[in-house]
Chains A and B, each alone.
Chain A
Amino acid sequence: MTLRRISIIATICLFVVGLLINPAQAFKGTYKVGAVFSVTGRTSFLGDPEKKTAEMLAEQINNAGGINGHKLELIIYDSEGDATKCNLAVKKLITKDKVCAVIGPSLSGTSMAVLPVAEKNKTPLISCAASYKIVHNEKTGKPYKWVFKTPQTDTMAVEAIYSHLFKRGLNKIAIISVTSGFGASGRGELIRLAPTYGMIIVADEKYGPKDTDMTAQLTKIKGKAPAAIVNWSVGPTQVTVLRNWRDLGMSSIPFYQSHGFGSRKNIELAAGAAEGILCPLGSCNIAGLLSASHPQKDVTMKYSKDYKARYNEPLSSFGGHAWDALQMVVQALSNVGDDKAKIRDYLENNIKGFVGQHGVFNYSLNDHNGLTKDAFNMVIVKDGDWALAD
């Protein structure tokens, strides 16, 4: 009896000791980084890959021994694409979870809503949303002190398209855009930058985000005989407009899409009509196509391979924005530790030539986005897949 009891107690003791000797004990301490993404809701196509990317990176970093021996603890909240929820989540991250930096949110709207929180609490925030206004204070004309962002702006996409048109000697263009926020913003930039690149806009057509046919708009454009067409939309309309373009026998007019076209699914849906379409895409969409000497070749290939292996789904370029944001914070942490002000200063002064998924970043006092139009590659659809355009 007693022997059995002793053996049971001994087993329990060993078990408890075993629990105490946790691999986590090997870390010196933890660095807490917060994240807010639209993981669910209408804009989950942005937040979901961002969350998965951030989790994958944190796992990789901790498996490799953490940051200078510190464990990276990532606290992720879901904003559901809602400005109020996002605001609360960021407040909670800063005051309750006491994170040293925040990455996200995923949308321009939610990012604008949390700007003041980051500024007030003096916490560095790296947004994963597109709008230029996130890092441009209208009053001072300078970036907000504590806020950075990773994705390219509409302006860069327009510049990339216009540069390509300019190189081909095409300057008489027709623009067609969807009447949503994305389309309106792109259209605004297309019109604003046209004179800089010597572009003459001969037609400016629009369609609704739920429209089923754009033949009328394209027929009107056909009547104006432009040298090229630029379309600015996301979702099914950007496929419908392509089919109408092909059906109307307008394939001889080069067709440019915005960076919103960057999904292979769109090529499939176009059922052959996407052949010859040009669009600007970030490097991580087309890792396999980059030349071996391209600075982003290695990071994009690794990310794409890891992501596919880990989640068994194709890479979404949106996840790349979270990759860029988190890796910058990690680089700052490994150099200056988890002091908020030091991280901010490091980001502004020392993120130079940072090779990310969507470009090579150079932050500075007046530029908290750090990218130029070179962050886009002009890509053409060839044989149902992307190819680099020349």
Chain B
Amino acid sequence: MEKITLASQLLQYLITGLTVGSVYAMVAVGFNIIYNVTEIINFAQGEFVMLGGLIMVFFHVAMGLSLILAFPATVILVTLVGMLLDRLAIRPIRQPSVLTLIIATIAASIIIKGAAMFIWGKDPYDLPAFSGRNPITFLGAVIQPQYLWVIGFLVFVVIALSIFFDRTIIGKAMSACADNADAASLVGINVKQMILLSFALSAGIGAVAGITMTPISLMEYDRGVMLAIKGFGAAILGGLGSFPGAILGGLIIGSIESFGAGLISSGYKDAFALLVLMAVLFFKPSGIFGDIEISKIKRF
């Protein structure tokens, strides 16, 4: 076998890091959408990713639906789960404080995980790659076509979200809730509906992340927690509430893990990502794109 050059190795680490980072970024974006409207951290975010992967396996592999049909069906189903989460776990809570709501999402994540274990069992499931498994060689590094799908969907999610928040009335109404919920309701925005919408959106994005990553790394019922932690780290790193921050944060954490594992020690790769996170928070407590003035008026 020919020896791989250092340059190719570095390129390989970068590609791997960006792919893994894209998944973290999508989870982080999901955190931010809900955070912006409700000021809570939805710890069931990782469960949406897991459900996305497993429901896609059910539709595409078990039921034999084509990719074009199974993909939207999965996203819609997971979106419904997200809306149910709001209606059943978040809205009924009386005198909600941020802390009780966060605890409710933790409970929901445990329930969703348990339900998934009952339905699918503990085995991991595989999904065929969207466009085959023949790797593309690029300057000595190897790229799976699925990597491009993951990164591509991140780009798509980013573009769609920025159009939604900047160009549509509903998007602007959501941003208004994020800025000041009381003022938003005074001008006639239905805040409760916006909260429901935020859960729906972030569940949908979580589903996309799960669907695109499953052909690379398989999916099983208890994958959600780890992804939620990494995505949360990415959201904090980029500045909670900031979309560019979430994406940058995800890509940075993914790349650090990959370079750390490759160049220094694979045993400590999670530690490198956390070290960078802590260092950033030390110098800029609000995260890379976060605004300290805004974070002061937030309840959490």
Contact = CB atoms under 8 A, between A and B. Distances in A.
Contacts of B259: 216
Nearest to B6: A223
Interface stretch (B191-199, B210-218, B280-288): B210-218
B278 interface: no
A253 interface: yes
Contact of B135 (A206, A210, A247): A247
By secondary structure, the A interface counts as: mixed
Nearest to B264: A220
B262 A217 contact: yes
Nearest to B13: A216
A206 B16 contact: no
Contacts of A268: 126
Max chain B C-beta neighbours (<10 A), residue from A45, A179, A217, A219: A219
A223 B9 contact: yes
Interface string B204-243: 0000000001001110101100100000000000000000
B258 interface: yes
Interface string B17-30: 10110010000000
B142 A217 contact: no
B175 interface: no
B124 A239 contact: yes
B218 A239 contact: yes
Contacts of A179: 267
B186 interface: no
Interface string A130-171: 000000000000000000000000000000000000000000
A249 interface: yes
A160 to B, nearest CB: 25
**A interface, how many residues as a size bin?**
20 to 34
B3 interface: yes
A223 B19 contact: no
B20 A212 contact: yes
A152 B158 CA distance: 52
B16 A213 contact: yes
B91 interface: no
A249 B223 CA distance: 27
A353 interface: no
B16 A269 contact: no
B9 A220 contact: yes
A179 B270 CA distance: 12
Contact of A219 (B9, B23, B213): B9
Contacts of B122: 45
Interface in B1-21: 1, 3-4, 6, 9, 12-13, 15-17, 19-20
Interface string A236-249: 10011001000111
A213 B20 contact: yes
Nearest to B137: A249
A107 B166 CA distance: 57
B123 interface: yes
Nearest to A176: B266
Given A220-B266, A247-B135, A271-B133, A215 B124 contact: no
A366 B20 CA distance: 50
Given A212-B217, A225-B3, A249-B137, A220 B262 contact: yes
A271 B124 CA distance: 13
A201 to B, nearest CB: 14
Interface of A: 45, 179, 205-208, 210, 212-213, 215-217, 219-220, 222-223, 225, 235-236, 239-240, 243, 247-250, 252-253, 265, 268-269, 271-272
Given A216-B16, A216-B269, A220-B266, 10 more contacts: A45-B122, A212-B20, A216-B259, A219-B4, A219-B16, A223-B6, A249-B137, A249-B142, A253-B1, A269-B218
14 contacts: A179-B267, A206-B267, A208-B226, A210-B223, A212-B213, A213-B16, A215-B16, A219-B9, A219-B16, A220-B261, A222-B4, A247-B135, A269-B126, A271-B133
Closest 7 CB pairs of A and B: A212-B217, A236-B124, A216-B261, A215-B16, A206-B267, A216-B262, A210-B226
